[in-house]
Amino acid sequence: MANIIISPSKYVQGKGELANIAQYATKLGKKPFILISEGGKKRVGGIIEDSFKDTGCELVFVEEPVVGAKIKVIGVGGGKIFDTAKAVAYYVESPVIVCPTIAATDAPCSALTVVYTDDGVFEEYLWLPANPNLVLVDTDIIAKAPARLLVSGMGDALATYFEAKACQASNATSCAGGHITIAAITLAKVCYQTLIEEGVKAKLAVEAGVCTTAVEKVIEANTLLSGMGFESGGLAGAHAIHNGLTCIKDCHHLYHGEKVAFGTLTQLVLENADEDLLDEVITFCMDVGLPTTFADLGIEHPDKDALMEAATLAASPDDTLGNEPLEVTPDKVYAAMVGADALGRYYKGL
């Protein structure tokens, strides 16, 4: 099997870049179909309209997709918007531009849409044949979002290197459809290093209402490095455990990356990672405010049956725990979850 790496056709990141969207979008078509929430339109709709002024383009702002005419899809917002925009663009055979207004997940750059049930339980991954034509990241806008969203993105990105390493060790097939490249594992490693070096500084800066160099670096780590790293490096334990946790209603208030962070800690326990690495990961999570215990997840009274249900869902043959370089069973996943919680409580002095 070949080594494969995939990526968006173009990635643009900088302060005030949303104002330049028309110069990129007009090259792809004359009828932009902009998928955006009502709140998102209030926040940034004027910037988009001003950018397209005098271009001759007919802008169509919608909250729900309408499939039909030959259009160019632009998704502006967060994860659900990205997933919907990419799927709609695929089905109508249109170019797609993704403009995140938050850096809460690594979804913008990927050729992946995640499907959940109406109750919020993970259902399936929809693998698309191509990555977005353009990912346009305005760091001024992202820095104005709540710090918790940036931290959630760090939680999602935290898993990237460890899942890529697991896939490399097991020689698993990545989300890109091949084996991992040197480039992909390097991107994943730099992603992790950036979080450790810049994460706390970035969180504090966003809480103070400013976009510093640390914020810029973490936005790139959350969005591009993690996006390319997970897709061409592969998914393993952390995201499967996240998917398992979606069946526990106590966790439904959490963001994706917050659950993934606990999934990362659980994966490291499952792999029996060394003490120094566990110390670094747990300390980072505590410093930026990511979950390290069941209580942090909202599970105040852990129920073995509920946790076993989550462990069984995580260990499903249809998910990615099979990419771990070791034998995985629901019992082992359950034990690793409980072990991760115990470590978290130990570090918190509970």
Q: Please identify every residue annotated as catalytic.
A: 156, 239, 242, 256
**Tokens standing for residue 150:** 């940036």
List CB contacts of 224: < 8 A, sequence separation 6 or more. 11, 13, 109, 135
Report how far apart, in Å, the C-alpha atoms of 93 and of each of 30, 76, 90, 130 are: 15, 19, 5, 11
List CB contacts of 317: < 8 A, sequence separation 6 or more. none
Instruction: List the beta bridge partners of residue 61.
Output: 34
Q: Which residue has the tokens 């170019």?
A: 95
Consecutive H or E run containing 34: strand 32-36
* DSSP code for 342: H
Number of residues that this document lists for the chain: 350
Instruction: List the beta bridge partners of residue 35.
Output: 62, 75
Phi, psi of 114 (to 5 degrees): -100, 130
Distance CA 114, CA 22 (A): 28
* DSSP code for 179: B
Phi-psi region of 130 (alpha: psi -120 to 50; beta: other; left: phi over 0): beta
End-to-end CA distance of the chain: 48
- Torsion on CA atoms 11, 19, 257, 81, rounded to nearest 10: -100
Distance CA 189, CA 326 (A): 22
CA 311 to chain centre: 21
